[in-house]
Structure 1
Amino acid sequence: MTWHSPTVLLTILGCSGSLPGPQGPASGYLVEADGYRLAIDLGNGVLAALQVHCDPFSLDALLFSHLHPDHCADFTTLAVMRRYHTHPPHDTSARKLPVHAPADAPRRFARAYAESDEELRTADLSDVFDFHPLTPEPTTVGPFTITAARVEHPGECYGFRIATAGAVLAFTGDSGPCAALHDLARGADVLLSEATWTHSDDRPPGVHLSGMQAGELATSAGAGRLLLTHIAPWTDPGTVLAEAQAAFTGPVEVVRQGGKYEVDEPVVRVTGGHGN
């Protein structure tokens, strides 16, 4: 199929860092172009939010940055929907959902259903999902060219560069400062960056970014706009925003759960959503 140069729409399904917040789910995003729907991460509460915006059966692919619960917990509930829905719109065993994820994803997700090690040897979710391990090579997924790179966070964790013919969205995943983030974000129209905490020299390295570090990344990479996400519920988003604005002179804002952003517009246009 030949894809056009489509408008790329980013919807924030969840943006609370490390766990669900009092008014919103943990990490989850929907990226759409030319009728193709790609979900990125399914943290706690994200499947409920997804159903506000589209039928989960209409997803064309899933992309996971890593397998910490705040980024993948709702995969188990999606598995229930795809396996046991009494009136699915299509045969889910014939139209399996592609899942691009860290290599251990099939075993990790299957463990949620296997009650013993013996059962785990034969249990998997390949009846309704088609798993693809993430690699450094760019991958074509619908209208998107996705480049994944290992970033600085405990476990197998990736950031992404998601490109069409007309737009580039970079997503940090969860990460401390590292060269891979700069490569992914270089010249991106929009950098969707985690900013879990405010800046302090005693923060543990190789875990998360501060607002200041997210701003510095956007500046060094020459990103067009900076969207801040994954702010922990106990962190003041206003302080994180001020840090980022001091380090980056381009447009910057804290995303809102339910907000919609056109990635390839000269100015980000936001509709809907509410603060987390």
Structure 2
Amino acid sequence: MKLTVLGCWAPYPRAGGACSGYLVQAGSRNILLECGNGVMSNLQKYIDFRSLDAVVISHLHPDHYMDLFCLRHAVSGAMRTDGNLRPLSLYLPGEPEDTFGQISRFTDAFDIRPVESLPRVWQNGMEVFQTIIGDVRISFIQADHPLKTYSMVIACEGRLFYSADTKWSAHLVTAAEGVDLALCEASVAEQDRDYVSAGHLTAKQAGELAREAGVGQLVITHFWPEYTLNIIIKEAEEGFGRAVTAAAEGLQIQVEPFALLHAPSPKKV
């Protein structure tokens, strides 16, 4: 599984940057995770949008979905000229109703799949919605954010946990337990903790979540553009207890089983 960062800023990007967007390539599938402002442009640096197998949106705040409008026009136009193309699977929450209702009319480009309509299972006392895209399994766990939001575990030759936007929640530690890589929002520094207490993680909390879950690697993302990122990285490392990676447009990371990456070298005979 390979993760490519297409955008990492919130709620607006730095000059030349983009809001939330990540390309997950696993097995034979290309999955776009989030589609915020500027993501459509960056996506095309790595793959043709016609090669996407699915788009997954964690919640319907503009910095996570706004470029769906661009992608819609690209896909619908391509379908008019290529009879072999089919609507692109789009997974997203069914709330808020007004925003979902607007996007759900884009059937000229998307096969709309509300997360709440997916098969539901109970794991460790948590309600989990699941879908399988080729050989990729995505599990959706409700986060704690003012809008209906889903954290996710994406599994295929490695496991990736994506926090989405959320305040601290003990059940997310359970959801992320033992994953190979955690992609966690680190929206603000500790000095601004009270400002985001209703629905976001500080950088230090992102590190603490990953440490308590025993994850292999931590990548922090979803940064307020006005911060000096060295402060955010330092606070995340304080929480995690070891080095973290800060997301940046163009960052690519292989998500491989942590146990294999850190297995001892075989002894020479």
Q: Does residue 189 of structure 1 match 2:180?
A: yes
Partner of 2:246: 254
Cα distance, 1:90 vs. partner? Answer: 4.6
Structure 2 letter corresponding to 1:13: L
Where structure 2 has 5 or more consecutive residues not aligned to the other structure, the ranges are: 117-127, 263-269
C-alpha distance 193-86 of structure 1, shift in aligned 2 (>3 A): closer
Correspondences of 1:124-273 after superposition (within 5 Å): 124-135=105-116, 136-164=128-156, 166-200=157-191, 201-264=193-256
Q: Quote the sequence identity (%).
A: 33
2:146·2:198 contact (CA, 8 Å) conserved in 1?
yes
1:57·1:89 contact (CA, 8 Å) conserved in 2?
no
Partner of 1:9: 2
1:253-273: per-residue Cα shift (whole Å, max 9, x none)? Answer: 1111111100116569xxxxx
Where structure 1 has 5 or more consecutive residues not aligned to the other structure, the ranges are: 1-7, 113-122, 269-276
SS of the counterpart of 2:45? helix
Please give the TM-score of this superposition, normalised by the length of structure 1: 0.83
Cα separation, 2, equivalents of 1:152 and 1:47: 27
Equivalent in 30, 33, 51 of residue 44 of structure 2 = 51
1:60-80: per-residue Cα shift (whole Å, max 9, x none)? Answer: 001000111100000011111
C-alpha distance 110-224 of structure 1, shift in aligned 2 (>3 A): same
Cα separation, 2, equivalents of 1:237 and 1:194: 13
Cα separation, 1, equivalents of 2:112 and 2:37: 21
Q: Does residue 71 of structure 1 match 2:64?
A: yes
Structure 2 letter corresponding to 1:54: I
Cα distance, 1:111 vs. partner? Answer: 3.2
Aligned-residue Cα RMSD (Å) equals: 2.2
C-alpha distance 26-46 of structure 1, shift in aligned 2 (>3 A): same
Equivalent in 23, 28, 45 of residue 21 of structure 2 = 28
Cα separation, 1, equivalents of 2:96 and 2:194: 33
C-alpha distance 88-143 of structure 1, shift in aligned 2 (>3 A): farther
C-alpha distance 153-106 of structure 1, shift in aligned 2 (>3 A): closer
- Mean alpha-carbon deviation: is it higher for 201-210 or for 49-58? 201-210
Structure 1 segments, 4+ long, off by >2 Å, are 84-92, 104-112, 135-138, 200-204, 265-268
Structure 1 letter corresponding to 2:51: S
- Mean alpha-carbon deviation: is it higher for 135-144 or for 204-213? 135-144
Cα separation, 2, equivalents of 1:24 and 1:85: 26
Cα distance, 1:25 vs. partner? Answer: 0.4
- Greater per-residue helix proportion: 2
1:189-244: per-residue Cα shift (whole Å, max 9, x none)? Answer: 00000001101353332321111000100111111110010111012211111011
Please give the TM-score of this superposition, normalised by the length of structure 2: 0.85
| Number of corresponding residues | 248
Cα separation, 2, equivalents of 1:39 and 1:105: 21
SS of the counterpart of 1:173? coil
1:137-187: per-residue Cα shift (whole Å, max 9, x none)? Answer: 3221222111111111111111101112x3110000011111232122111
Structure 2 letter corresponding to 1:134: V
C-alpha distance 204-26 of structure 1, shift in aligned 2 (>3 A): closer
Structure 2 letter corresponding to 1:209: L
- Mean alpha-carbon deviation: is it higher for 11-20 or for 179-188? 179-188
